[in-house]
Structure 1
């Protein structure tokens, strides 16, 4: 007993020490006293009873003519109101303009580009301060900025030869003019000078980078080092809107240095970085205008290559589908097919993890991460390395006099998808809350559904409608059918798992300082108080309920990748399933499955995967450049994937393991596993583990009565006759039949 007490005391001391360390760490991260925040928002920011989108697919819509005269003059602001992204359409041809999204946090100061321009005196947006002659800010407020406009201006950068880390160089910056020879810059005629233009388009910060010669002048561009080609850098990450986004200029230069050294020009906008929002219409609107700015000032490029990670990869799939010609080819790095079909299983993660840890009858069985993977579908590892969230959870449990749950390993759900339920789905949760006033925080629905309200629609209270749910989902069905879990485990899981509460009923996340929660003892990464069971055992916990209209709108508006792809695209990624990383390998197969299901063939997409330790992105970039160049000169047919760009897998040194049309074959296309599939096997999602196919496009399933499901052979080879009554009790509204199209799923126009 003394040994147990001593062990508990030691754990408590360690966790409390970790608590105080994390407290200071998080407080430092949230300390934004030097940066102005949003004080007020326009009165008409909330839109009630907005209808869901029912108009044509964006690939069928003729965009309106440009109303802004490009290029933006130096010293002037670019357009504020998007050209078409705020228009929602109906099937009868009617349209409705939706107000711009507010609050909108200006982030030009963090970007090193100074304060935004004043656009009002009504305290809307962020405060703008009078500046001294040296550019430092005083405490005198001269006005406010709600739309964050910046003047277009020039900067010049050259790599600093004194950089401490050559692999992560620093760049010296000069504003407005190339420096004179006596400016103290250690450079030569061969130095790579980057002309950078910055400003705002559609309220977002844009950046144009071009390698130039020493003779460059603001109005006399030295294009001697430009190869005539353009890269659109989409970057990536996850964001839900309400901010301008930070343009990290040094990082942009470092990331794109290989392209700049080859003579490529590069464009980028915070409005097309998914770290700041996932509104694909607004991304397209902004990208089109940024390209127009580039063409008007620098000339039309031979072709444009898309380049970006994660969300920056899925943008290339969606923009190619929705707006052919915006990019001519793409390098989609660790990409997903789209966002909304990832959120569907992402919202399952915390429901499942909470069930396994707290509600399951057979918790010893579910403690094994491999067993969890049978239901979650996603990858797992037995090598558990606790992180900040784990230490906080354990400390909070001990202070509640509860013994903490210590995992035997970890899953991709817990390791990588933790937090998605709060950031995407919870209208009360906002990690940037210190940058917004108390009134603004309380008046705003901080989630993805609100950011895309002109697509999904809103209810009578103004909450965004949800395009997905989990009604009828038989979690772990395939594992039960294959004898990997018992009937008792299957029914226990599906009775207790529940779903997420409706938006109006949701409360602030219990993520302590990250969510401005007033009690750290409530810390919980699951969000169980926002689940339908509120963290308690129920005989039958209600499931989430979504909107069929919103699901249909997600398809019609082009927010779901349907498989429509008319440009060359290399889906390139290191194999990270063993970590387990959220950028799982089966995303590439999901995209491929959609392409083939839609067209019957694949003419455009290649899948490149490498063993951990090697990143093949620039190899893929070189292949894409060659691919587009040979198409442009007529050396290569338009619908041909050249051998140097074909499907492949590589080892840790980047050496080819195998290539060819069959290397990624597997269960997903009913073929024997290919060489690369055997080397780098795929996992899946919770919905596929419940019966969905490799496309993973079902947002809301069609349900059929249990009796009909049994009769139709849905449970084969399992004989469930003895369980019919129990199935009908657990699924009174029927079970998902993934053999049928999902509710709201829409066939889109054929590829060209």
Structure 2
């Protein structure tokens, strides 16, 4: 009965997909106040970096701080590259009035008055600075304040909102009631500053919003202790991963704060996911901005995460569509051998029914998966958003003309750093030439040579950007719900081609080396250069298939160790029911003051009640207590033989014969498979004993 019901539901979905003709994006899917047109000129300069950005002097900021109330902050970049367009204003998300009119030529968004009459256009989304006032009670509740007495236990918070480099900034200070409505009162300030970073996945072209009341609630404990807090929508990776742009805003926001209140004793960063990445890279690239960092749920950078994250959909396409033994690959355990990420037997695959429907539409028998993996439950569809220049976000925020003329990808957001190819597309830095997927499983006998050969022959790669297509979808009537027809972005994958010997081989992708080198030089990769305390704090989320898995903490540690800097990082891992955030603040404050890590900042792990399970220098070693309780897994590149530090953006290649002679396949005799290996890897396979081929010329390894 259960199978019959499932088949009936699947049949209904198929009928809706096939019968409903709507392909175009419905008008209801467009964001309000769209960008109508793009100006022809972009202002701003890009810092020339011939060596490494951490050793490159930034130009002097000519702006005279503080930003006057009622005026806008600096808006033309000094060193982070020309202004990006289109640029989508977020005033409606902030619940404030429209931005200032800056042109009458139709560039940007239309600015209307309350009667809906056109007043002009705003291409840069600028807002004058203003003061906002809030109360914070003992329950952590936030309310607007217009003056008058405070209730027992209430705190008064002054918030300043404006724009710097076209992004919103926020500056929050706890104050006494008699300091209302002054701008500069600071009698409750403890002389310490928190810089709040935020995560998410974004591809630029957005001003982004600040969720002010949520930020105040999240930092309530520290505000009551007298900390000041600053943040910017430029430091929110759900809007952009352009960390040079984020650095410039951070510098200017901190300078604005200092001009009002003086130099703080210390500035402590905090933020999760992409907000953790931002702190690792800011600490590396601009060590004078933060004095300490609390990096939550972090990766060392976005680029090395993208390498294995974009493998996931390629693997899914193989499991469901091109593998001969599809049933074998529907086991969660078998997938883990190749993916390395966490897997569980008792969860359902996200979009499982939709995947089965697409298999049917493709003429394939549905093969529902047993269990689930992080690769599919956490990363499914990321390739479409960050990698496909024709897709980006599903909900457009620009006019149809601008939508068609812009390349929507993570790579395009950083095109001023990475450059363009001969077709006008931003260089992609994803690369899988020579990668032998599932190599460790072959070595220990879990995969047969036949399975290893087929996997590597058919997994293929992503097409070059100019050959990609938008995702294929139908929108259901009334609700306008999208139904995807192109599972995993498979229309953008290189298809297998039959060789003269009859082997079907899909080509691999080799990224532009000069673009990768610029990523290193411009600090978009964390190479382990660090001189401030970083407390790497996370919940253990591997068992729930959350993308914020534990291994990246140790990826960062390995890079730090390569530089001799691992004494600057401590790793705290907790059960999801406990968050030792206040302990983390106390630990980094003591660390900054002492100049070295105190016992209170030692490596450690916590249980659900908040008790420290174990702490000290050995708890994260292979046989350490914390590592036994919270196991560290891997990823698809490690399962292919890459080292744990992940700094092999473009591996050095070695001939197959040399790999065989060097014992690359351990006790598995691959001699009889030599011909097929050569067809799959005509340029050779990865030699992970060699440094990254993309490592900048003239740099020592590791960087001195």
Which TM-score band applies after superposition, normalised by the shorter structure?
over 0.9
Quote how far apart the aligned CAs of 1:535 are.
12
**2:431 paired residue number:** 469
Say which SS state the counterpart of residue 144 (structure 2) adopts. strand
| Equivalent residue runs for 1:56-455 within 5 Å | 56-86=51-81, 99-130=82-113, 137-159=114-136, 166=139, 169=141, 171-174=142-145, 178-181=146-149, 187-188=150-151, 190-219=153-182, 221-387=184-350, 389-396=351-358, 403-431=365-393, 433-455=395-417
Q: Is the 1:692–1:738 contact (alpha carbons within 8 Å) kept by the matching residues of 2?
A: yes
1:699 and 2:653 matched: no
Cα distance change, pair 290–686 in 1 and its aligned pair in 2 (3 A): same
**Per-residue deviation, residues 344-374 of structure 1 (Å, max 9, x unmatched):** 1111110011101121122222111111111
**1:12 paired residue number:** 11
| Equivalent residue runs for 1:634-649 within 5 Å | 636=594, 638=595, 640-649=596-605
Q: Is the 2:30–2:397 contact (alpha carbons within 8 Å) kept by the matching residues of 1?
A: no
Q: Is the 2:112–2:118 contact (alpha carbons within 8 Å) kept by the matching residues of 1?
A: yes
**Per-residue deviation, residues 363-417 of structure 1 (Å, max 9, x unmatched):** 2221111111111111111122354x33444455566776544211111110111
Quote how far apart the aligned CAs of 1:726 are.
2.4
**1:669 paired residue number:** none
**Per-residue deviation, residues 474-495 of structure 1 (Å, max 9, x unmatched):** 0001110111110000000001
Q: Is the 2:496–2:504 contact (alpha carbons within 8 Å) kept by the matching residues of 1?
A: no
Aligned partners of 2:49, 2:263: CA distance in 1, in Å?
35
Q: 1:543 aligns with which of 493, 496, 508?
A: 508
Quote how far apart the aligned CAs of 1:109 are.
1.9
| Equivalent residue runs for 1:707-718 within 5 Å | 707-718=657-668
Q: Is the 1:728–1:734 contact (alpha carbons within 8 Å) kept by the matching residues of 2?
A: yes
Quote how far apart the aligned CAs of 1:557 are.
0.9
1:663 and 2:613 matched: no
Aligned partners of 2:46, 2:421: CA distance in 1, in Å?
8
**2:627 paired residue number:** 677
Aligned partners of 1:705, 1:51: CA distance in 2, in Å?
40
Say which SS state the counterpart of residue 327 (structure 1) adopts. coil
Q: Is the 2:193–2:229 contact (alpha carbons within 8 Å) kept by the matching residues of 1?
A: yes
Aligned partners of 2:46, 2:435: CA distance in 1, in Å?
27
Say which SS state the counterpart of residue 681 (structure 1) adopts. coil
Aligned partners of 1:534, 1:67: CA distance in 2, in Å?
56
Aligned partners of 1:68, 1:357: CA distance in 2, in Å?
57
Aligned partners of 1:326, 1:259: CA distance in 2, in Å?
20
Q: Is the 1:57–1:748 contact (alpha carbons within 8 Å) kept by the matching residues of 2?
A: no
**2:606 paired residue number:** 650
Quote how far apart the aligned CAs of 1:83 are.
1.8
Q: Is the 2:384–2:391 contact (alpha carbons within 8 Å) kept by the matching residues of 1?
A: yes
Cα distance change, pair 361–392 in 1 and its aligned pair in 2 (3 A): closer
Q: Is the 2:456–2:680 contact (alpha carbons within 8 Å) kept by the matching residues of 1?
A: yes
Cα distance change, pair 305–453 in 1 and its aligned pair in 2 (3 A): same
Q: Which runs of 5+ in 2 are unaligned?
A: none
Q: Is the 2:167–2:208 contact (alpha carbons within 8 Å) kept by the matching residues of 1?
A: yes
User: Which stretch shows the higher mean deviation, 198-207 or 113-122?
Assistant: 113-122
Aligned partners of 1:399, 1:366: CA distance in 2, in Å?
20
**2:450 paired residue number:** 488
Q: How many correspondences in the alignment?
A: 692
Q: Is the 2:345–2:371 contact (alpha carbons within 8 Å) kept by the matching residues of 1?
A: yes
Cα distance change, pair 446–7 in 1 and its aligned pair in 2 (3 A): closer
**Per-residue deviation, residues 254-293 of structure 1 (Å, max 9, x unmatched):** 1111211111100000001111000110010000000011
Aligned partners of 2:26, 2:370: CA distance in 1, in Å?
31
Aligned partners of 2:426, 2:11: CA distance in 1, in Å?
42
Q: Is the 1:528–1:535 contact (alpha carbons within 8 Å) kept by the matching residues of 2?
A: no
Cα distance change, pair 604–711 in 1 and its aligned pair in 2 (3 A): same
**1:559 paired residue number:** 524
Quote how far apart the aligned CAs of 1:497 are.
0.6
Cα distance change, pair 138–748 in 1 and its aligned pair in 2 (3 A): farther
Quote how far apart the aligned CAs of 1:533 are.
1.0
Q: Which runs of 5+ in 1 are unaligned?
A: 87-98, 131-136, 182-186, 667-672
Q: Is the 1:418–1:525 contact (alpha carbons within 8 Å) kept by the matching residues of 2?
A: no
User: Which stretch shows the higher mean deviation, 112-121 or 725-734?
Assistant: 725-734
**Per-residue deviation, residues 58-96 of structure 1 (Å, max 9, x unmatched):** 11111111111111111101111122101xxxxxxxxxx
Aligned partners of 1:70, 1:237: CA distance in 2, in Å?
31
Q: Is the 1:53–1:457 contact (alpha carbons within 8 Å) kept by the matching residues of 2?
A: no
TM-score with structure 1 length normalisation? 0.87
**1:506 paired residue number:** 468
Aligned partners of 2:277, 2:490: CA distance in 1, in Å?
30
Say which SS state the counterpart of residue 660 (structure 2) adopts. helix
Q: Is the 1:511–1:525 contact (alpha carbons within 8 Å) kept by the matching residues of 2?
A: no
Quote how far apart the aligned CAs of 1:219 are.
4.1
- Root-mean-square deviation (CA, aligned residues, Å) is 3.0
Quote how far apart the aligned CAs of 1:28 are.
11
**1:96 paired residue number:** none
Q: Is the 2:590–2:598 contact (alpha carbons within 8 Å) kept by the matching residues of 1?
A: no
Aligned partners of 2:133, 2:152: CA distance in 1, in Å?
15
